[in-house]
C-alpha cells in the first residue's frame, strides 16, 4: 500500500500528463432499482440474470464494491481516482444499460440518466465527462435524445452496451442513429455485454459468458458485424471506440483480411459483400481502443505496433477493476514522454472532443 | 512468381532447418462421400451445412482447390509442398472429421482413415506424419482406436475438430480419452470447427461462423472450458496444440487470470472452481501453438514473447491456405538461426515425437 499511497500524490501535472480514464462505469439508482425489480420478476433473459443478477445481488466482496462504486459520482469515486492518480474519468451507463429494457421504460430511464450524468459533470467539470445513453428500441427518439444529450447537456459520445435484445448495429434499422453520431462528431463507445441469449448457453454453462471471455466474443462479433455489413462505407467518418484492448481485434488483422476476401470471392454468404476497404483498414482507421482491464504491457505495445501510435488510450474500468498498481504498470510502459502523454491524455481529448483547457484547469 | 519459384529450390537443408508444417488438412474419399450424402439428405445441422456444404459443393475457385488437395497424399500435395519449400507435413483428418457423424458410422470411417493415413506415411516417410482420428461418441472404442493408431500404425497424436455434436472435452465423460492421450505421450491437436448449433445463429446470419471469426470463438472457448474444468489438474502432462496462433489466447493472459480469480472468489458459478495453477500457467505450460493461417510477424513475435520461445511452431493449413509467400514471411522473422530452426523444425519434432533421423534422411 505504500507504493499506492505514494502514487496518489503524483497527479497528472507532476508526471507530465493528465491520466484520463476512458471506460468508467456508472449507473443511476433508478436503473439499478429497475434491474433489481426485473431480476426478482424473472424478466430479462439468461445473460441479464447472469450479469446483473451477480453484480446486483451477490454478497461477495467484489460485487459489493462494484455496487457502491457504480452509483457514486462524488466523494467515493473521486477518492478512488485520487488514490490511483486518475485526473479525469469518462463515465458511461454500465452494461446492459437500458438495452435490456423495453422502449418506454428504457427511454425514460436513459433520459433521466443523461440529466443526472450532466449534473455530475457540472459539479466536477475538471474530473468527469460523460457519454449519452439512449433507448435504441425506438430509433427516432434515440436520435432526438442523443442530439439533446450532446448539444444541450454537453455529453461527449454515445454508449452502446452491445446487443439490443439480440439485435446489432449492423442492422440498417439502427443506421439513423449511426448517422446522427457521425453528424454530431462524437464517438460511439461499443461496450461489452454478455452474449445474446441465442448464443449464451454453452458459455454460461461453463461460467464463461462474462468478462472472462463472453464479453469479448460478443463485442468483437458486434464490431465485425458492423464492419462487414458496410457501416463504415456508409458512414466513413464514424468513430468507434472499443475497450479491453480492442477486444483482440488487433491480433487477427491478417486473417480477417485473408478470409473475408476469400468469402467475397466465393460468394459464400448473402451477408458478406465487397467492401471499399480491407477489414484491417476499418480497424486501423475507424476504431480507437482503450486498455480497460488490459493493463499488461505486451498487448498494449503489440496493438500500438499494428494499429499505429494514435489509436490506443488508457482506461481503468472502475469500479469493476480498481487496481491502482495497474495504473503504475501503464505509467511504466516503455514509451517516450510524448507518447505517454498521448496515451494517457491527448488521444482521449481528441477522440471525445474534450475541452483541454477545462481539464488543465484542475 | 519468380521469388516463389526460386524459393522452391530452397529445401530445408539449404536454409539451416527443415520446414515442418504442423496443421495440414487431409480427408479420405470415404468421409467426403459420407459428408456429401449428409448434405444432400439434410443431415448434420447448421454449422455442418455452412462449412462442409461450402467446401464440398461450391464451384468457386478456392473450395475447388481445397477439394482436390484434401484427398491427395501423393503428387499434388508433394508438388505444392516442394513449390513452397515444405519438407514435412503433419496430416490430420479435416474438420468436422467424424465428429458430425453418429458413433457407428464415425467409428468405421475413422478407423479406415487411420489405416489410409498410415499407408500414406509409409509411402512417403520423410514427407508425412499423421494424427489419429477417432469417433469420440463411444469412449471405450475411442481409447482402443487411439491406442491402435499410435502403437500399431505409428500415428503421432490425436486430432479433435472441436465440439462433439455440441459436447466438449471438459465433460468428464471424455476424460478417459485424455488419460489415454497423456499415457501414450502424444499431443492432442484441438482444431477448429464452426460453433456448435446452439450458438451459431447470430454468427451464421452474418457470415461470421467460419474461419474468419467463428472458428476462433469455438476453439478458444473449447480450450478455456478444458482449462477451467480442471482437465490439466487431472492430467498435468497432457500436451494440447492449438492452431491459428493459439486462437488468440496469448492476447488475454492477464484478463483471464484476473477475472477467473474474481469468479472463484465470488463463487459466481458452480462450474468455476479453484484450480492448482493460474489460467495463464496452463496456457504457458500445457499448450503449444502453431501459426496456421496466421503468418504475419507481429502476432507470432508477440506470442513468443508472452509464452516463451519454445511454444510456437510453424504451420501452413494446406489446402485451405496455400500461399508460398507466407512461408517466406516466416522465413524472414527476425529470429536467430537457432530460434528459426526451433520454430520450423525442432519444437514440432519434440511435441509430436517425430523421428528426427527419418526427417533428416530426406
pTM of the model: 0.97
- Topology adopted by domain A3-357: TIM Barrel (3.20.20)
Task: Report whether pLDDT(A357) > 90.
Answer: no
pLDDT digits (tens, 9 = 90+) for A285-325: 999 999 999 999 999 999 999 999 999 999 999 999 999 99
Q: Which one from B87, B209, B317, B346 is the annotated catalytic residue? A: B317
Percentage of residues of chain A with pLDDT beyond 90 = 93
A251 and B251 within 8 Å at the Cβ level: the answer is: yes
C-alpha A188/C-alpha A166 separation (Å) is 19
- Which residues from B are below 8 Å from A325, CB to CB? none
Any B CB within 8 A of A65 CB:
no
Task: Report whether pLDDT(A4) > 60.
Answer: no
Model pLDDT, residue B11: 61
- Which residues from A are below 8 Å from B228, CB to CB? 206-208
pLDDT digits (tens, 9 = 90+) for A58-72: 999 999 999 999 999
Any B CB within 8 A of A225 CB:
yes
Residues B20 and B344 sit within 8 Å (Cβ to Cβ) = yes
Residues B215 and B163 sit within 8 Å (Cβ to Cβ) = no
Model pLDDT, residue A7: 45
Which residue pairs from B334-340 have beta carbons closer than 8 angstroms and sit at least 24 positions apart in sequence? B334/B297, B334/B301, B337/B16, B337/B17, B339/B309, B340/B16, B340/B17
Please enumerate in sequence order all residues whose Cβ is within 8 A of that of B135, keeping only pairs 6 or more positions apart, or say none.
B98, B99, B101, B103, B106, B107, B109, B110, B141, B142, B145
- The per-residue pLDDT string of chain B (362 residues; one tens digit each, 9 = 90 and over) reads 344 444 444 566 678 999 999 999 999 999 999 999 999 999 999 999 999 999 999 999 999 999 999 999 999 999 999 999 999 999 999 999 999 999 899 999 999 999 999 999 999 999 999 999 999 999 999 999 999 999 999 999 999 999 999 999 999 999 999 999 999 999 999 999 999 999 999 999 999 999 999 999 999 999 999 999 999 999 999 999 999 999 999 999 999 999 999 999 999 999 999 999 999 999 999 999 999 999 999 999 999 999 999 999 999 999 999 999 999 999 999 999 999 999 999 999 999 999 988 888 87
Between B212, B225, B245, which is nearest A208 by CB?
B225
Between A170, A198, A255, which is nearest B206 by CB?
A170
Residue B259 CB neighbours (<10 A): 22
Any A CB within 8 A of B155 CB:
no
Any B CB within 8 A of A216 CB:
yes
The CA–CA distances, whole Å, from A182 to A45, A179, A283 equal: 32, 5, 17
Residue A296 CB neighbours (<10 A): 21
Model pLDDT, residue A359: 87
Model pLDDT, residue A190: 98
Distance from CA of A148 to the nearest CA of B (A): 33
Task: Report whether pLDDT(A115) > 90.
Answer: yes
Q: Determine the average pLDDT of the residues in A42-52.
A: 97
Pick the residue from chain A with its C-alpha nearest to B273: A207
Q: Which residues of A are catalytic?
A: 317
- The phi and psi torsions of A133 (rounded to 5 degrees) equal -105, 140
Average pLDDT, chain A: 95
Model pLDDT, residue A3: 47
Model pLDDT, residue B6: 44
pLDDT digits (tens, 9 = 90+) for A217-258: 999 999 999 999 999 999 999 999 999 999 999 999 999 999
Q: Is the ipTM of this complex over 0.85?
A: yes
C-alpha A93/C-alpha A98 separation (Å) is 9
Model pLDDT, residue A9: 41
Query: Would you state the cell numbers that stand for residue B50, as one nine-digit string?
Result: 455452412
A198 and B203 within 8 Å at the Cβ level: the answer is: no
B171 secondary structure, DSSP code: S
C-alpha A25/C-alpha A192 separation (Å) is 12
Any B CB within 8 A of A273 CB:
no
C-alpha B90/C-alpha B127 separation (Å) is 9
Any B CB within 8 A of A203 CB:
yes
HEC assignment per residue over chain A:
CHHHHHHHCCCHHHHCCCCEEEEEEECCHHHHHHHHHHHHHCCCHHHHHHHHHHHHHCCCHHHHHHHHHHCCCCHHHHHHHHHHCCCEEEEEECCCCCCCCCHHHHHHHHHHHHHHHHHHHHHCCCCEEECECCCCCCHHHHHHHHHHHHHHCCCCCEEECCCECCECCCCHHHHHHHHHHHHHCCCEEECCCCCCCCCCHHHHHCCCCCCCCHHHHHHHHHHHHHHHCCHHHHCCCCCEEECHHHHCHHHHHHHHHHHHHHHHHHCCCCCCCCCCCCHHHHHHHCEEEECCCCCCHHHHHHHHHHHCCCCEECCCCCCCCCCHHHHHHHHCCCCCHHHHHHHHHHHHHHHCCCCHHHHHCC
Model pLDDT, residue A216: 98
C-alpha A70/C-alpha A77 separation (Å) is 9
Task: Please state the length of chain B.
Answer: 362
Q: Which of B220, B223, B254, B255 to mutate to test the interface with A (most CBs of A within 10 A)?
A: B255
How far does CA B62 lie from the centroid of its chain?
20
CA angle in degrees (0–180, nearest 5) for B40-B41-B43: 110
Model pLDDT, residue B5: 44
Amino acid at each position: 500500500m505504500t507504493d499506492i499511497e505514494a502514487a496518489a500524490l503524483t497527479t497528472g501535472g507532476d508526471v507530465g500528463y493528465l491520466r484520463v480514464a476512458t471506460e468508467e462505469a456508472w449507473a443511476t439508482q433508478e436503473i439499478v432499482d429497475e434491474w433489481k425489480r426485473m431480476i426478482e420478476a424473472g424478466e430479462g433473459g439468461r445473460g441479464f440474470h447472469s450479469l446483473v443478477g451477480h453484480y446486483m445481488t451477490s454478497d461477495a466482496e467484489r460485487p459489493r464494491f462494484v455496487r457502491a462504486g457504480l452509483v457514486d459520482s462524488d466523494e467515493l469515486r473521486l477518492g478512488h481516482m485520487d488514490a490511483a492518480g486518475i485526473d479525469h474519468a469518462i463515465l458511461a451507463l454500465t452494461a446492459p444499460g437500458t438495452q435490456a429494457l423495453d422502449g418506454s421504460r428504457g427511454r425514460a430511464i436513459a433520459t433521466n440518466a443523461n440529466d443526472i450524468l450532466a449534473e455530475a459533470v457540472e459539479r466536477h467539470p475538471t474530473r468527469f465527462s460523460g457519454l449519452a445513453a439512449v433507448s435504441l428500441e425506438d430509433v427516432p427518439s434515440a436520435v432526438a435524445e442523443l442530439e439533446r444529450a450532446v448539444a444541450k447537456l454537453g455529453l461527449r459520445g454515445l454508449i452502446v452496451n452491445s446487443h439490443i435484445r439480440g439485435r446489432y448495429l449492423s442492422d440498417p434499422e439502427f443506421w439513423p442513429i449511426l448517422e446522427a453520431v457521425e453528424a454530431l462528431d462524437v464517438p460511439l463507445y461499443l461496450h461489452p455485454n454478455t452474449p445474446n441469449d441465442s448464443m449464451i448457453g454453452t458459455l454460461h454453462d461453463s461460467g464463461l459468458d462474462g468478462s472472462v471471455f463472453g464479453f469479448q466474443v460478443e463485442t468483437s462479433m458486434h464490431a465485425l458485424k458492423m464492419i462487414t455489413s458496410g457501416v463504415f462505407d456508409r458512414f466513413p467518418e464514424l468513430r468507434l471506440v472499443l475497450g479491453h484492448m480492442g477486444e483482440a481485434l488487433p491480433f487477427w488483422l491478417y486473417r480477417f483480411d485473408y478470409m473475408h476476401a476469400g468469402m467475397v470471392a466465393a460468394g459464400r454468404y448473402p451477408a458478406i459483400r465487397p467492401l471499399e476497404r480491407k477489414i484491417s483498414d476499418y480497424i486501423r482507421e475507424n476504431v480507437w481502443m482503450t486498455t480497460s482491464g488490459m493493463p499488461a504491457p505486451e498487448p498494449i505495445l503489440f496493438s500500438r505496433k499494428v494499429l499505429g501510435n494514435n489509436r490506443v488510450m488508457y482506461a481503468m474500468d472502475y469500479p469493476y477493476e480498481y487496481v491502482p498498481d495497474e495504473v503504475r504498470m501503464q505509467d511504466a510502459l516503455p514509451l517516450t514522454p510524448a507518447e505517454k502523454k498521448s496515451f494517457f491524455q491527448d488521444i482521449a481529448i481528441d477522440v471525445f472532443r474534450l475541452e483541454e483547457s477545462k481539464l488543465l484547469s484542475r
